[in-house]
Each structure stands twice: as structure tokens, then as C-alpha cells.
Structure 1
Amino acid sequence: MNNRYLTPLALLSLAWLSACTPTRVGDQVALNSPATWQHASNAKATDAVDLKTWWQGFNDPLLNELIDKALAANHDLKIATARVREANAMVTVAEAALYPSLDFSLSGGREKRIDRIVGVPSGQGIKLITPTADAVSGGLAARWEIDLFGGRHLEAEAAASQAEGSKEGLHAAQVGLLAQVATNYMELRGVQQRTGILQSNIALQRERLRTLQVFAKAGLANEADLARQQTLLQGTEATLPQLTNVGQKLVHRLAVLLGEPPESLEKRLVAAGPLPKQEPAMPKLLPADLLAQRPDLRLAQTEVSAAAASLGSARADLYPKLVLSVSGGVGALAVGGFPSLADSVYALGSGFSAPIFNAGRIRAHITVADARLDQVAANYEKIFLLALEDVENAFVAHRSATDSFGQLTEAEASAENAYRLLDALYQRGARDYLAVLDAQRSKLAASDERAKAETAVSVATVSLYRAFGGGWTVDSSVSAIENASAR
């Protein structure tokens, strides 16, 4: 067929392609989402909760400062941001295949040929020496593979989906980071509160031992009483290094999350501080809302889209390919002292290829891509179920911690009341001093349990917001990417 007919045919084929891509594969996965939560918190949910800055609901300035530093310097976020930049660049690489390529070439050189002609009657070869020649040539060459069946477009779609997935990976890293910082901070405050209670308990145990020693001298206590109290004191004192160790590890973990050396926060956080007295309100989200809010689910969806596009691209290899090419240039040749000779050339061509036999390679690639799509679709369903489990478990943990905290708060109040009553009786001489010390020890034990439950409530609240996927926004993520690119 004449070349002048191939170009209109290619343009007509391209127009047909824009209207239909026969190899495209659907990327929708049906998910069975429940209508409501089974173990929703008793706390009243509200639509006014700002999920992207949920930690500010604790109203703790130091926690806010730590999270701001983590968002600015955490290394996991830096790695995730670099992956976003890498994936965006790969989209450009994939999309470049949709357009013609244009190359420029330039070459030149000098040559002198010596040819020997043999077989002449005299039996001697004849040397032919050509004059020295200078040659220069240059030109442009263009090539364009017409995407008749959408294979290149689908490859670009797969790369774009992977780039979106890298952004969701950044969001997921941010959600996890915020939860880790808040959790470690709450646990640190809880440990510090328990350490203060333990130190008071140790002082009380020492006072009780001193009192028993005085009683023993007066014949009111025996050696067994002293031994039991000594054992109780030593066991209580042995708990203090353990709590100190836990607190130091939490400080070190916070420093690493903030992108700093482990010891950098010790001076800042060594002073004991209270747990936040205020908690964020419960967000009003339905199970189906997780699909748009949780980054891991959004990431799984992009994997399905990328796999579907890759399958369509693999199927497109079964169909013919059409390539258009055009080239043109000029050349100059100068021989000896003669004037140079210049000439211009051009070529316009087209190529058409179709697979006939490839030992099953194309079909195998299609099978691989189809199996990959099945894997990521099943993984999407699995992650959705895990997300539902995550939220339900967070609700259960929050309700359990809240109930325990309420009961232990009442128990602490009862122990405090019992101590005050016994102390009043002791002041009137109606009870002995040891009974007062025992009541005070019971109160401290109740306070310790209450502190653990209070910490559990705060940690459960953080876990609930992490399960909901709170702590990221599209705008903030894009801004972070642009700032990283500028550096």
C-alpha cells in the first residue's frame, strides 16, 4: 500500500482508539460493608470532629509540639515522600511512550581508501588509491507507535495508579506516625504518674517498717512481722527500676520518631507531667466511610486499578502494532581540492507487525497479570475486613478501659475515704498507727490501678483514631511533597 494512504489510516485508527479500548479491564471490587458498628463507643459521636488534627482534642501543648516536630523530621515520612517523587517520575516515563520520539544525529569524518585489484594477466595486483575525502552528515528522525489497542495508555494508567498508591503509602505512614507519637507520649505520662505513686508507696513501706521496729522493741511486734514488712518493702522498691526503665525507653522511642538522637528528649521529658484530662470527641463514621478515610484501603484500591490496567496492557500485545517513521537530513562530501558536494535526503515509512508464534509468551504474561489482579483484589477485601476488625477492637478496648477507669476511680475514692476515717480514729486513739498505714497503702494501690486504667483510656482513644485513619489531608501531603522536591 502506498505510504500516502497509511498516514490517514493511522490517524483514523487513532481516532477509533480514543473512543474505545478493547483490552480495558474493570477494577471494581464488591465489598460487603456492614451498616453500623457492633461495638460502637457509648460516647456521643459528632460530625464536628476534625480527623486530620484529632490529637489537638487532648488539649496538650507539648503533645502538639512533639507531633509537629515528627511531621517535619521523621525519617519514615522522608522515605515515603521520596517514593512519591520516584513514582511521579515513572508516570512521566510511561506517558512518554504515547508520543512521537524525535532524535537528532550528526556525524563526520575523513577517509582514504586503498583498494587492490588482483587477477590481472601480469599476475601483479594493482593498487587504487582514492583521494582523501571529508564527509559530514546530520538530520532528524521521528518515530511514533500508534497505540491502536490501548496498551500504552493502559501502561500509563498503571503507572499513574502506582503513583497514587505511593501517595497513600505516605498518608499511611503519617497516620501510623501520629498514633505512635501520641501512644508513646500517653504511656510515658502514665508511667511517670505511676512512678510518683510508687515512690509514695515506698516511703510508706519504710515508715511502716520503722513503726514495726519501734513496736518490736516495745514487745508489740515479733520478728516475723518485721521480716514480712522487709520483704514487702524490697519487692516494692524492686518495681521502681523497672518503671524507670520503661519510661526511659519511651523517651528514646519518641526521640527517634521525631528524627532526633535517642537522648535528645530526656531533659525535656524527664519532668513528670499529668495525662491529658481532655479527650477528643468520638468521630461519627460508618463502616463504609473507611474506604475513603483509611490510607491502607485507598492504597489497596490503587493496587487493584494498577493490576487491572497491567492486565489490559498485557492483552493488547495479542493485537497488531503500527509504527510511523520519518527522517530527513543533509550531507556534504569534499574530495581533495574539489568543491564539496551537498545533498539532502528524507524518508517516510510505516511498519505493521502482528504476533504469530511466540511459544506462549504473550499468553503467559496475560496469565501472570490476571493472577496478579486476583491477588490484589483478594488483598483489598482482606484489608477491608482487617480495617473493620481494627475499629471494632478499638471500640471494645476503649469501652473496656473507660468502664475500668470509672470503677477504679470509685475504688480509689473509697480507699481514700477509708484512710481518712481510720486516720480520724487514730487521732482519737481508737485505732493503731499500723492500721492507718495499711489503709494508706490500699489507697496508693488503688491509685496505681486507676492510673493504669486512665492511661489505657487515652491509648485506646489514640488507637480508635488510628483505626479510623485520622491524621492526614491531601493538601498537607502535597505540600510536604513539594517542599521535599524543592530541597
Structure 2
Amino acid sequence: MNKRVLIPLTILSLASQIACTPTRVGDQVALNSPASWHHAPTAQTAETADLKTWWQGFGDPLLNELIDKALAANHDLKIATARVREANAMVTVAEAALYPSLDFSLSGGREKRIDRIVGVPSGQGIKLITPTADAVSGGLAARWETDLFGGRHLEAEAAAAQAEGSKEGLHAAQVGLLAQVATNYLELRGVQQRTGILQSNIALQRERLRTLQVFHKAGLANEADIARQQTLLHGTEAALPVLANAGQKLIHRLGVLLGEPPENLEQRLAFAGPLPKQAPAMPNLLPADLLAQRPDLRLAQTEVSAAAASLGSARADLYPKLVLSASGGLGALAVGGFPSLADSVYALGTGLSAPIFNAGRIRAHIAAADARLDQVATNYEKTFLLALEDVENAFVAHRSATDSLGQLTAAETSAEKAYRLVDALYQRGVGDYLAVLDAQRSKLAVSDERTKAETAAGVAMVSIYRAFGGGWMFDSAINKASIW
């Protein structure tokens, strides 16, 4: 090849590999992060919170087992994992455009055409015939579009950012799943504990009704007292199927979260278990730490990176494109009874194209990509504000629940003391049996409220860990290392 042609091509080829990317767009979004939390607990424990396995802080083996099963079999996680595989495959597709393509071809055939007439000697002179031609050819063809202005590299970067986003989507699904399993489990235990309290209350009210009926026969109570007690008893009994319905729904929901038919867990969870008596330590993270910990924020950041790379790739379409091609092979042709022809063939070429007129298509594509970048950047800012709101709301809910729990625990202690005093008077013969039953009923009512507050406090702690993005890790099928 002429050196005057070969040297410029070589320079262009090298430049395409070392050239900068003049169309690259920055993907940094400035976020105004507060220095501290407004509603965080003032007293932090010395215990270090484990964000990775925070649910183990409840000290409930059955909860740990349910979460392990959910992580292994939940359908949302399986769908998210498949999306990660799909996105990783698309990265390979995008990166393949950076390299030359090499194709092998082989063709052959036989043809007889009317426009191919030859004359051959014969006993009667020259005879015109249409011979049959056999042709065979094969070889290799290479083509490479050199990435002079980085458009292909930016397309690959956009695909890689989208793949990272799919991983963050998997992490977000894990965070949500853990919170749902723990929340439903705690609420189930709360409902079961309240059901036991309600059953004790019903038995107590039945005893009070029986006592009133005895007193009525002795002339110590009237029918109005019995009617009022019957009304109270029926109203209390009406709450029992409501709690049973709530418990069944929670069991069914846990079954779906664990990837099982809803009824599979009924035998395992139908027995009344206690609420966990301990809770995980309070996380001690700053607002800025959310950017690294919350998967939805990490996902929003990858969307910004992908949009910025796509914008740069769209801008690269304004510049010329250089294509290098080469092909070579062997070909053979045999016509009639003539000697066959065979020879090697090759071709080397370059092509340069540049946009001149396209009715504004490229500019419109750039404008659309720029608008997309503005959208995802604004969404990133909004997602951060929502994350801050999420954490602050979780802190407020936890403080409210723990304050209520403290007051109701004190009230339960007072109700227990009142019951013992009334019972002591009755045992000495100076008190009324109905007063003893009323004191028991008051104590059970306070115990029911205290159970609701205890459940709310546990659920609020779960919400705090969910708000901080606790519990996610790379799936072993994607990456063996756990990443924070």
C-alpha cells in the first residue's frame, strides 16, 4: 500500500485509542446535606449497630429463619437478580462495538445464464452454447469503526452505569424485603399477644356476668346491671374475630414474602409467640452517609451517570466517523469444459462520513439527552430529600412509640398494684368481688395498650433501619464479596 496512505491511517488508528473524549459530560450533582439529624435520639448507646444483619438484634431465632428463607426464595429478589444478568449482558453488547468485527463467509453455486454465450468448434463449424458455470469463494472480512470522539466509549459507560443501577435495584429490593418480613412478624406477634389478653378479658367479663346473675337472684343486682354487662361482653367478643383476621392476613403475607403458598406457614406461626424483648442498637450515621448506604440514592446516582454518558454519546454524532475495513480470501470459477480459474483476492479500504444535513435529528437527540440528564439530576436531589424525610419520620415514630410504651408500662404497674390492693381487701372480707373483677379488667385494658405500643416501637426500629438502607449485600451469584 502507498506509504502516503498507510501513515495517515496508522496515525488515525492510534489516535482513536488514545484520544480524549471531547464530548464527555460531568455527572456530579451538588447536594445540600445537613450536618446532623433533627430528631435523632440524644442518647446514643455504646453498642455498634450492625447494618448488615440488623434483624438479629431482636434476638428471635424464628425471625432470623424467616428472613433467611425470604432472601433465598423471594420472587421479587429473583426478578431483580435476572435484571442484573440482563444488564450485564447489555454491557458486553455495548463494549463489543469498541472492537473490530471479523466475519467468515463461504459461498458457492452453479448457474446458467442466457447472456453468457460462447462459441465452440464443431464438425459443422462454430456452435453457440450457454455453458454452466461453477463458482466457489470464501474468506474473511474485518471492519472497525474507530472511536475518534469517544461516542462508543460513552455508550459503553452508559450501559455499565445502567448495569450498576440494576444491582442497586436488587439491593433496594433486599432492604424492602427485610423490613417487610420483620414488620409483619412483629405485628403478628403483637396481634397474637393482644389476642391472649382479649381472651382473658372475655373470660373475666363472663365471670362478672355470672356473678351479677348470682347477685340478681339474691336481690343484690338488677336486670339493668346484667344487660349492661352482656352488652360489654358481646362488644369485647366482637373484637376477637377482627384480631384473628388480622393475624391470618399477616401469616399469609409472610408466606408470599418467603416465596411459599400463603397457607404453608399457618402451622408454624399460628401458635402465640412473645414479642422480642430486645431490639437492635440505634444506628449512628450522619445524613451524608445515606449517599453510600441507601440503594435508592445509589440507583439515582447511576441514572445520572448513565444520562451524562448518553448525552456525550449523542454529541459525538456531530463529528465525523472513520471506518477501516479489510477482506481477503480465495475464489474459483469453472465454466463448461474450460479450465477452472482460481486466485486469492483481497480488499483494503477506509471510509469517512460526516453529518451535513439531517433535518435537525442529531440536535434534537442531543436536546432530548440533555433534558433526560436534567430529569435524573433533579430526581437525585429529590430522592435525597425523601431519604432525609424518611429517616426523620422514623426517628419521630420511634420516639413517640417508646414514650407511649414508657407511660403505658408505668400505667400497667399501677393497674397491677390497684388490683392487688382490691383483691387483698376482698380476701379480708371488706371488699367487693365485682371490684376485683373491674380491677382485673382495667389491668387487661392497659396491658392491651402497652402491647400495641411495644409492637409500634419494634416496627419503628425496623423503619429506622430500612430508612438507613440496612441489610443489603451483593448476591453471591453476582459477586462473592459483601459490599456496604
- The TM tier, using the shorter chain, reads over 0.9
How far residue 341 of structure 1 moved from its aligned partner, in angstroms, is 1.4
Q: Does 1:157 align with 2:157?
A: yes
For 2:251 and 2:56, the matched residues in 1 are separated by 21
Match of 2:324 in 1: 324
How far residue 3 of structure 1 moved from its aligned partner, in angstroms, is 3.5
Percent identity reads 85
Specify the SS of the correspondent of 1:471: coil
Q: 2:212 corresponds to which letter in structure 1?
A: L
Unaligned runs of 5+ in 2: 118-125
Q: 1:309 corresponds to which letter in structure 2?
A: A
Paired residues for 1:338-349 under 5 Å: 338-349=338-349
The question of whether the paired residues in 2 share the 8 Å contact of 1:46 and 1:282 is answered with no
Match of 1:7 in 2: 9
Match of 1:123 in 2: none
Q: 1:430 corresponds to which letter in structure 2?
A: V
Q: Provide Cα deviations, 1:32-54, integer angstroms capped at 9, x if missing partner.
A: 00000000024524572221100
The question of whether the paired residues in 2 share the 8 Å contact of 1:43 and 1:282 is answered with no
Q: 2:284 corresponds to which letter in structure 1?
A: K
Match of 2:215 in 1: 215
Specify the SS of the correspondent of 1:177: helix
Instruction: Tell me whether 430-439 or 107-116 shows the greater mean CA deviation.
Output: 107-116
Residues 148/71 of structure 1: CA separation in 2 closer, same or farther (3 Å cut): same
For 1:11 and 1:242, the matched residues in 2 are separated by 75
RMSD of aligned Cα (Å): 1.6
For 1:293 and 1:4, the matched residues in 2 are separated by 53
For 1:133 and 1:412, the matched residues in 2 are separated by 105
Q: 2:439 corresponds to which letter in structure 1?
A: A
For 1:11 and 1:327, the matched residues in 2 are separated by 18
The question of whether the paired residues in 1 share the 8 Å contact of 2:176 and 2:466 is answered with yes
Match of 2:176 in 1: 176
Paired residues for 1:388-399 under 5 Å: 388-399=388-399
Specify the SS of the correspondent of 2:214: helix
Q: 2:80 corresponds to which letter in structure 1?
A: A
Instruction: Tell me whether 330-339 or 288-297 shows the greater mean CA deviation.
Output: 330-339
For 1:471 and 1:286, the matched residues in 2 are separated by 17
Match of 2:478 in 1: 481
For 2:139 and 2:23, the matched residues in 1 are separated by 38
For 2:334 and 2:47, the matched residues in 1 are separated by 83
User: How many residues are treated as equivalent by the alignment?
Assistant: 470
TM-score normalised by L of structure 2: 0.95
Match of 1:370 in 2: 370
Q: Provide Cα deviations, 1:244-291, integer angstroms capped at 9, x if missing partner.
A: 000000000000000000000000001100011111111110000000
For 2:32 and 2:209, the matched residues in 1 are separated by 64
Q: Provide Cα deviations, 1:300-331, integer angstroms capped at 9, x if missing partner.
A: 00000000000000000011111100011110
Paired residues for 1:430-445 under 5 Å: 430-445=430-445
Residues 45/156 of structure 1: CA separation in 2 closer, same or farther (3 Å cut): farther
How far residue 128 of structure 1 moved from its aligned partner, in angstroms, is 4.7
How far residue 193 of structure 1 moved from its aligned partner, in angstroms, is 0.3
The question of whether the paired residues in 1 share the 8 Å contact of 2:47 and 2:281 is answered with no
Q: 1:5 corresponds to which letter in structure 2?
A: I
Residues 25/45 of structure 1: CA separation in 2 closer, same or farther (3 Å cut): farther
For 1:75 and 1:261, the matched residues in 2 are separated by 12
Q: Provide Cα deviations, 1:382-415, integer angstroms capped at 9, x if missing partner.
A: 0000000000000011111011101100000100
For 2:387 and 2:128, the matched residues in 1 are separated by 85
Q: 2:10 corresponds to which letter in structure 1?
A: P
How far residue 6 of structure 1 moved from its aligned partner, in angstroms, is 3.7
How far residue 5 of structure 1 moved from its aligned partner, in angstroms, is 3.5
Paired residues for 1:68-467 under 5 Å: 68-115=68-115, 128-467=128-467
The question of whether the paired residues in 2 share the 8 Å contact of 1:47 and 1:283 is answered with no
How far residue 333 of structure 1 moved from its aligned partner, in angstroms, is 1.1
For 2:209 and 2:275, the matched residues in 1 are separated by 32
Specify the SS of the correspondent of 1:282: coil
How far residue 12 of structure 1 moved from its aligned partner, in angstroms, is 3.9
For 1:12 and 1:133, the matched residues in 2 are separated by 45
How far residue 116 of structure 1 moved from its aligned partner, in angstroms, is 9.0
Q: Provide Cα deviations, 1:67-113, integer angstroms capped at 9, x if missing partner.
A: 00000000000000000000000000000000000011100001122
For 2:47 and 2:306, the matched residues in 1 are separated by 34
How far residue 16 of structure 1 moved from its aligned partner, in angstroms, is 4.5
Stretches (4+) displaced over 4 A:
none
For 1:32 and 1:163, the matched residues in 2 are separated by 27
The question of whether the paired residues in 2 share the 8 Å contact of 1:47 and 1:284 is answered with no
Specify the SS of the correspondent of 1:283: coil
Specify the SS of the correspondent of 1:51: coil
The question of whether the paired residues in 1 share the 8 Å contact of 2:415 and 2:446 is answered with yes
